[in-house]
Amino acid sequence: MTEIADLTASEAARRIAAGSLTASALAEACLARITEREPEVRAFAWLDPALVRRGAAAMDKGGPPAPLKGIPFGVKDVLDTADMPSQYGSPIWAGHRPRSDSAAVAMARAAGALIIGKTITTEFATRHPGATTNPANKHHTPGGSSSGSAAGVAAGFFPLSFGTQTGGSIIRPAAFCGIVGFKPSFGAIHRGGMKVMSESHDTIGVMARSVADCALSMGAMTGRDYGNPEAKLPRAPRLAFTLGPPAAKAAPETLALMERAIAACRKAGAEVVDITLPEVMTEAFEAHECVTNMESLQSLGWELVAARAQLSDVIKEKLDWAKRFPTAQLDACKLVQARARAALPAAMEGFDAVITASAAGEAPPGIGWTGDPSFNSLWTLLHGPCVTVPAGVGPKGLPLGVQIAGRIGEDAKVLAIGEWVSQAL
């Protein structure tokens, strides 16, 4: 029965709509997988199987059709839920029970999703990691900050999950765990009820087993058209290749991966051209840390005053660093990033999307560090969509991913090209 837990969301939704699968049967398959693997994977910050079963049973009794009806959905624990604690990966908020759902969770429920539990996040979706391990190898990190969301999809605990990205917190863990991660255009999912850290960067997105699942869930929740990624493109894409400002950090397996990916895309008919990004992109990339930490200093103002001792040393170090700078520094960095966003269309002129690395390399050993977000932060601050698709394994047998990034608002195109690249690989 537990093989049902490995269905894509799209296939599970088709079966539920056709009456060949019930929400309860899907929930039981996921709960059985959780019983089997959660002691090692540790994806959940909160799980109440009885609540899950009641919710699934209620859906099986009827109600209007909905695109995500009965589909288990993991929720990163920086997004509020009315019926579960929201603890933000911090002891400061242990046991906190919000009165309402976040906008994202409300949108998922309205689309028929079954919220299965809260997934482990790093502390306030920043650096200090939780206990989650990589389902591909328990001795390696699943990435972060959306650690439990990525690991849970990969392990078969749920077919869909919410992640959030400030630097690389959707794309990197999805790549490390061998699944699809989609960061939509900035603001596509409302951040009401989210523990926001960086006003300029934080973006809510989804993790899934297929690109089509990302399009299904995003469209169901937002009402926007994210297209059908599995439909044939009218022509092979024209792709710009760059590793961007952090190119020197690419591990040998990433350099080899990108060579293979580019060769596969060209063989399938794509034109792939090396490009050099304008200097303002490097300036914006270098400003990312300043903007993130200075805005986080503002967002954690209460915690710093009321519960500083319960903050991790790593977050206190970053926030204390941010205190050294005047507000004018933040304004100047945000202006540089705005200039970079304005420069992106010209930098991509004539290309359908950018093909680049999802991460520096394979998931690092241990769970004390979630990996380097350098290959994601530029595409996050540019506010356009990006998707990572599985692209084989590295020398240690751990998953690798390839990232497709695009212009603001071209989410459907990025998803379609992501699926095309996945098929080419």
Average pLDDT (309-331) is 97
Q: pLDDT averaged over the chain? A: 97
Does the N-terminal peptide bond of residue 358 adopt cis geometry, omega within 30 degrees of 0?
no
393: in domain: no
329: in domain: no
How many helices (H) and strands (E) the chain has is answered by 14, 11
177: in domain: yes
187: in domain: yes
- Look at the chain and report how many structural domains it folds into: 1
- Reported as a single tens digit per residue, the pLDDT across 218-258 is 999 999 999 999 999 999 999 999 999 999 999 999 999 99
β-pair partners for 204: 164
Phi, psi of 337 (to 5 degrees): -65, -35
DSSP type of residue 193:
T
Residue 127 has pLDDT above 90, yes or no: no
Average pLDDT (82-92) is 98
- Reported as a single tens digit per residue, the pLDDT across 144-189 is 999 999 999 999 999 999 999 999 999 999 999 999 999 999 999 9
Contacts of 390 (CB under 8 A, 6+ apart): 175, 178, 179, 180, 399, 400, 401, 422
3-class SS of residue 332: helix
- Reported as a single tens digit per residue, the pLDDT across 28-56 is 999 999 999 999 999 999 999 999 999 99
For the chain, what is the largest distance between any 2 Cα atoms, rounded to a whole number of angstroms? 61
Token reading at 424: 């080419």
Catalytic hit among 149, 169, 217, 296: 169
Q: How much is the pLDDT for 2?
A: 54
Residue 1 has pLDDT above 80, yes or no: no
Buried b (16+ CB within 10 A) or exposed e, 118-151: bbbbbbbbbbbbbebbbbbbeebbbbbbbbbbbb
How far is residue 133 CA from its own chain's centroid?
16
Q: Give Cα separations from 323 to 97, 200, 328 (angstroms).
A: 31, 18, 12
Q: How much is the pLDDT for 63?
A: 87
3-class SS of residue 266: helix
Q: How much is the pLDDT for 247?
A: 98
Q: How much is the pLDDT for 116?
A: 98
Domain that includes residue 70, residue range:
2-222
How far is residue 380 CA from its own chain's centroid?
11
The CA distance from 321 to 186, in Å, is 27
Catalytic hit among 145, 146, 149, 377: 145
- For residues 43 and 31, the answer to whether their CB atoms sit within 8 Å is no
86: in domain: yes
pTM of the predicted model as reported, rounded to 2 decimal places: 0.98
Q: How much is the pLDDT for 90?
A: 98
Residue percentage of the chain with pLDDT more than 70: 100
Catalytic residue list contains 169 = yes
Catalytic hit among 76, 183, 334, 413: 76
Amino acid letter, 328: A
HSE, side-chain direction, 13 A CA sphere, residue 7: 22
Q: What is the CATH number of the domain that holds 155?
A: 3.90.1300.10
Q: Where do the DSSP E strands lie in 136-224? A: 160-165, 180-183, 203-208
Catalytic residue list contains 20 = no
Catalytic residue list contains 312 = no
